[in-house]
Structure 1
Amino acid sequence: MFVKITGIQRQVFISLCLYLGQILAGYSASWPGPVIPKLRDLEQSPLPYLLTEAQLALVATCMYLGGIAGPYIVLWLSNVTGRKPCLLLAGAVLAIAYIILATTKNIALLLVGRVLSGAACGAIAVTNIVYIGEIASASIRGILLTVIGVFHTLGSILIFAIGPYVSYLWTTYVALAVIAVFLISVLFIPETPIFYALQGRDEELKKVLQDLDRLGDINELLEMKNHGTVTNTKREWKELFTIRSNRKALFIVVIINIFQNGSGIMAVVFFSAAIFDMAGSSIKSNLAMIIIGCFQLLGSTVTPFFIERTGRKRILIMSSALCSLSMILKEMLQIMLQNIATDPNGVHSINYEIAD
C-alpha cells in the first residue's frame, strides 16, 4: 500500500531537488578557497607551471563574469521553453564546466571552466527562486525561499570540509557527482503552473495544480493568462526609472548589493586558507575555512526566525555594522603583521601611530 503524499509534502520534495542546485552554487563559489593552495603547489596543481598571484585572483573571481550573463539568459529562455528545461540546461553547462576543470592543463581552460560555472550557477540560482515561488503555496513560500540561502552555505561547507583533504581532481569529481543527482532529480519534477498559464495550456495547468493541492488558485492563474501573455520589456525597463517608487526600490537594491559585495566576504572565502596562514593563527587554515562556513550557516538559519519581529531594516543595519567592525579589526591585524615582518619592534611603532 502506497503512502499518500499531500500537496504540501510534494512541494517540499520538489524544493529539495532544487536545493541540490543551490548546494552546487555555494560549492562553486567557495571552490577557490581550498583549491588555490593546491594551484600554488606543483605537486598538487593540474597545471605544469605555477600561477602568479594576479592569475590566481583571476581564477577565483572570473566566475562572476559568467554570473552576470547566466541570469539574464534564463530569464528570457524560461518564458519560452519553461523553467524546468532551464534547470536542465544550466546543470548540463555546469557539468561541462567541471569536466573542463578536471581535464585542464593550462590557465585558459581553467578560466573558461570558471566562467561557465558562474553562468550555470547564476542561472540555477535565479531559476530556483522563480520555480519555488511559482509552485509553493502562500503558507510555506516564504520559508522555502529562505532555505535557499541555507543550502548555498551548505555547499560552501561541503567544499571547505573535503577540499583540503582530497586532490584537485577529486574536488571536481564531487561536484560532478552532485550535478548528476541534481539533473536526475530535475527530470522528475513538473513544470510550474504559471508557465502553463502563460502558455495557455489549461489541461497541464489543472493537473499540476491538483498534484500540488492548489486547485483553489486556478482562477487567479487563468486571470494571469489573460493579462500576462503580452509583455513589453522596453516599457518595463523604462518604468524602472520613470516611476518614483521603482527608482526608490532600485536605489535600495543597488545600495544593499554594493554593501554586500563590498563587505569583503568573497575575498575572505576565496583566499581563506591563505589569510589564516599569513595571520599565523594557531587554528589550522583547513579548520578555519569550516568555521567560516559554519558562521555563515548560523546567520542564514537563525535570521529567518526573528526577521518578522525585528524587521529587515534593523537586521541590515546590525549586520552591516558587524561587517564593518570585523573588517576594521582584520585590517588592523594585517597592518601589525606587515610591520612585524619588516621591523621586529613593529608592534611598538603601531602604538605610536595610533596615538598620533
Structure 2
Amino acid sequence: MGTRDKEWPQILAIIVACIPGLTSALLFSWPSPFILVLIQDKEHYDISEDEANLLPVLLPIGVTVSAIFFFKIHDIIGRKYTLIVISIPQALFWIITIFAKDIYTFYIARVLSGVGDAMVYGTVPIYIGEIATPSIRGTWGSGQTFAYNAGFLLINVIGKYCNIQQTSYICLIFPVSFVIIFIWMPETPHYYVMKGQDDKAKASLRWLLRKDNIETDFLQLKSDVQRQISESGTWKDLFIIKSNRKALTTCIFLKYSQAMAGISALETYIQFIFEKSGNLSVSPEMASIYFSAFMWLIMTLLTVTLDIFGRRKSMLISSLGCSMLLLCEAIYFYINEFHPSIDLSAMQWFPLAVLIVYVIFYSVGLGPLPSLMTGELFSVSIKGKGICVSNFSMGIIITIGTFTFKSLNGTVGLYAPFLVYAVSTFASFILSFFLVPETSGKTLEEIQQQLKGNVKK
C-alpha cells in the first residue's frame, strides 16, 4: 500500500462487515435493560426473577454448541456469504421477541442469537484479517470491537426509551440493512485462491487495493496461501504442530483474559451494579448509558495504541491496569456491604469513576486484541478448526464468567466477583509475557513464519 487513498475500500468493507458485530452486542446486552421489564411487567409477562436470570447465560451456551457445527461454513460457502447467513438467526431473535409472551419463547430466541454469535466470532475476524493490509490491520482490524461497543451503547439508549416490541422493530433494521449493503462488498482474495479461482481473486484484489497492476500482489498472495493449504490441517495437527498449538493457546488465553476481566458481567449487569453502588446523582439507567457511551468513545480513540505499543505491550498495560482497578472496586464494595459503620456517603462517585478508568485500560488491549489476533494467528489450512475450538472455549468461559458474577454476588457479596476478576486479570498480566506474540506490522504469512520460529520475534 503506497498511499492512504488506496486504503479506503478496505476500510469500507471492514466497517460494513462489522455490522453483525454491532447486532451481536445488541443481542448480548439485551438482558441489561429488559430483565427487570420481564420481571416487573405482569400485565404482559408472567415471568419470575429466577426464570429471567437464565437469559444472560443462554446466549454463550448457544455459542458453545453452535461453534461445533458451523466451524467449516466459511470454507464451504465463503467468508462473504457466511456473514450474510449470520443475519438469519440475528433477525429471528428480533422477530421472535416482538411476539414472545412466555419465558420459553425468550429462551429459544436467546439460543438462536448464540448461533449467530458463533458465526460472528468465527467469520468476522477471518474476513477482516484477509482483506486488510498490515498498515491498517492494527487500527481498523479492531473494528469488530468498535462495533460491539457501539451496540452496547445503543441497547442501553433504546432500552431506556422503548419497550421490548419497539426495540425489536428498531434493531431488526441492522441485520436487514447489512444484507442489502454487504452484498456489494467483495469476497476475500484468500478464499478465491483457496478455491483455485484466480480471476476472481485478482478482481477482489483490484477492488480492495484500487490499482490496476496487482500481479505482484496476487503472485505473493497465491504463494503464501498455497504454502499454507499444502500443510496438513487435521484436528490432530491443531494440537501436535507447534505453530498451530501456539496460535490456539494464544487465542484461548486472550478470550479467557477478556471474559474473566469481568466485561461480560459488566455489560449484562451494569444497571444492577450502579444501583448497588449507592445514591448516584443520576438513575442507574442513565449511568449505564454514560458508561457505555464512554466505553465506545474511548475504545474508538485508543485503537491506534495497538500499532504504537504493539500487541504484547498493549496486553501487559491493559491487564495490569484492569487488575488493580478491579481490586479497588472489590475493596469498595466489601467495605460498603460488611462495614456499614464506615461512612462512604462522600465516595458514592467512586465505583463509577473506577469503572471509567477501567474502560481506558481495557480499551488498550483486553478489548480489541482477542478478535483482532484471532484473525491473524491461524494458518489457512487449520483456521476453521482453530477458531472453532477457540469459540467453543469462549462460550464456556463467558458462561463461567457470567455465572461467577451471579452466584458470588448472591452467596458472598458484590465484592466477591470483582475480587475474582482482579486475581484472574493479574494472572493474565503474568502469562502475557509468555503467551502473546508480537504481530504488529506483519503480513499473515510473516506471522506464520514467526510462530514456526523461522523469523526473529
Range of TM-score over shorter length: 0.7 to 0.9
Which has the higher mean CA deviation after the structures are superposed, 64-73 or 172-181?
Answer: 64-73
From 47, 50, 54, the equivalent of 2:47 is 50
Q: CA deviation at 1:264?
A: 1.9
State the 1:176 CA deviation. 0.5
Q: Specify the SS of the correspondent of 1:50.
A: coil
User: Distance between the aligned counterparts of 2:228 and 2:247, measured in 1?
Assistant: 23
Structure 1 residues 292 and 247, CA gap change in structure 2 (3 angstroms): same
Gaps of 5+ in 1: 1-5, 349-356
Structure 2 counterpart of 1:199: 195
Shift of 1:79: 1.0
Deviation at 1:228, TM superposition (A): 5.0
Cα 1:233/1:109, change in 2 over 3 Å: farther
Alignment of 1:13-52 (within 5 A): 13-42=12-41, 46-47=44-45, 49-52=46-49
Q: Deviations over 1:13-37 (max 9, x none)?
A: 2222112222112222221111112
SS in 1 for 2:18: helix
Query: How far apart are 1:73 and its partner, in Å?
Result: 4.2
Unpaired runs of 5+ residues, structure 2, are: 345-457
Taking the aligned partners of 1:126 and 1:292, their CA distance within structure 2 comes to 28
**Structure-1 residue corresponding to 2:173:** 177
1:304 to 2:300 alignment? no
Q: Which moved more, 1:284-293 or 1:222-231?
A: 222-231
**Does the aligned pair in 2 maintain the 1:74–1:86 contact within 8 Å?**
no
| Preserved CA contact (<8 Å) 1:63 1:117 | yes
Structure 1 residue 276 displacement after superposition: 1.5
Counterpart of 1:124? 120
Cα pair distance change 1:31/1:244, threshold 3 Å:
same
- 1:222-237 matches, within 5 Å, as 222-224=222-224, 226-228=226-228, 232-234=232-234, 237=235
Contact 2:14/2:143 (<8 A) preserved: no
Check conservation: 1:7, 1:211, Cα contact below 8 A.
Answer: no
Shift, 1:70, TM fit:
4.3
Q: What whole-Å deviation, never above 9, does each CA across 1:220-269 have from its counterpart, x for those lacking one?
A: 233356445566442xx434433455545544443433332122221122
Identity %: 26
C-alpha change, 1:339 and 1:20, in structure 2 (3 Å) is: same
Structure 1 residue matching 2:172: 3-state secondary structure: helix
CA distance in 2, matches of 1:106, 1:65: 20
For 2:11 and 2:137, the matched residues in 1 are separated by: 10
Deviations 1:325-352 (A, max 9, x none): 3333333343344447xxx74769xxxx
- CA RMSD, 1 decimal: 2.7
In structure 2, what is the equivalent of residue 210 of structure 1?
206
In 1, are the aligned partners of 2:15 and 2:143 still within 8 Å (CA)? no
What is the distance in 1 between the residues matched to 2:105 and 2:231? Answer: 39
- Residue 162 of structure 1 deviates from its aligned partner by 1.7
Q: Which stretch shows the higher mean deviation, 205-214 or 280-289?
A: 205-214
Name the stretch that deviates more: 206-215 or 95-104: 206-215
Map of 2:76 onto structure 1: 80
| Residue among 118, 130, 136 paired with 2:132 | 136
Residue of structure 2 aligned with 1:160, choices 156, 163, 184: 156
Partner residue, 1:286: 285
Choose the corresponding residue for 2:236, options 223, 235, 238: 238
**Mapped contact 2:52–2:103 kept (Cα < 8 A):** no
- 1:106 is matched by which residue type in structure 2? D
TM-score, normalised via structure 1 length = 0.83
Secondary structure, aligned partner of 1:23 = helix
Matched, 1:106 2:102: yes
Distance 2:319 2:271 in 1: 24
The residue number in structure 1 matching 2:257 is 259
